[in-house]
Amino acid sequence: MRFADIGLSDELLRALSEAGYDTPTPIQAAAIPQVQMMRDIIAIAQTGTGKTASFVLPMIDVLANGRARARMPRSLILEPTRELAAQVAENFEKYGKYHKLSMALLIGGVQMGDQVKALEKGVDVLIATPGRLMDLFERGKILLTGCEMLVIDEADRMLDMGFIPDIEHICTKLPTTRQTLLFSATMPPPIKKLADKFLSNPKYIEVARPATANVNIEQFLVNVSPMKKREVLRDLLRTEKVSNAIIFCNRKTTVRELNTSLQRHGLRSGEIHGDIDQASRQKQLEAFKNGDIDLLVASDVAARGLDVKGVSHVFNFDAPWHPDDYIHRIGRTGRAGAKGKAFTFVTKADEEAIESIEKLIGNKIARLGKIEAPAEGEERVPAKRGRRTPSAKAKQARSDTPEASAQAPEPVREKAAAKPAREKSPPKAKIAKPDQPNGADAGDDGWNGPMPGFLSVGFSS
The CA–CA distances, whole Å, from 231 to 170, 271, 347 equal 48, 19, 14
Q: How far is the CB of 375 from ligand AMP (least distance, A)?
A: 42
Residue among 63, 71, 60 nearest 97 (CA): 60
Residue among 124, 78, 129 nearest 103 (CA): 124
Residue nearest to ligand AMP (CB): 52
Closest to ligand AMP by CB, 25 or 456: 25
> What DSSP designation does 453 have?
G
Neighbours of 225 (CB within 10 A): 20
Collapsing DSSP states into helix, strand and coil, what is residue 69? strand
- Convert 172-198 to b/e letters by CB count within 10 Å (16 or more is b): eebeeebbbbbbbbebeeebeebbeeb
Closest to ligand AMP by CB, 79 or 148: 79
Q: How far is the CB of 331 from ligand AMP (least distance, A)?
A: 9
The residue ranges that bind ligand AMP (CB under 6 A) are: 21, 23-25, 28, 47-53, 305, 307, 335-336
CB of 352 closer than 8 Å to CB of 381 = no
Q: How far is the CB of 233 from ligand AMP (least distance, A)?
A: 27
Closest to ligand AMP by CB, 22 or 403: 22
Query: 75 forms bridges with which residues in the sheet?
Result: 149
How many residues can be counted in the chain?
A: 461
Q: How far is the CB of 20 from ligand AMP (least distance, A)?
A: 8
Q: Which helix (H) or strand (E) holds 41?
A: strand 41-44
Q: How far is the CB of 349 from ligand AMP (least distance, A)?
A: 32
Closest to ligand AMP by CB, 51 or 256: 51
Helix then strand then coil, in percent of the chain rounded to 5, is 40, 15, 40
**Cα 321 from Cα 41, distance rounded (Å):** 30
CB of 222 closer than 8 Å to CB of 368 = yes
CB of 321 closer than 8 Å to CB of 250 = yes
- Adjacency order of strands within the sheet including 179-184: 203-206, 41-44, 179-184, 149-152, 75-78, 125-128, 102-106, 456-458
Closest to ligand AMP by CB, 50 or 108: 50
Q: How far is the CB of 56 from ligand AMP (least distance, A)?
A: 8
Q: How far is the CB of 94 from ligand AMP (least distance, A)?
A: 8
Closest to ligand AMP by CB, 28 or 399: 28
Closest to ligand AMP by CB, 232 or 330: 330
Closest to ligand AMP by CB, 40 or 153: 153
Q: How far is the CB of 443 from ligand AMP (least distance, A)?
A: 25
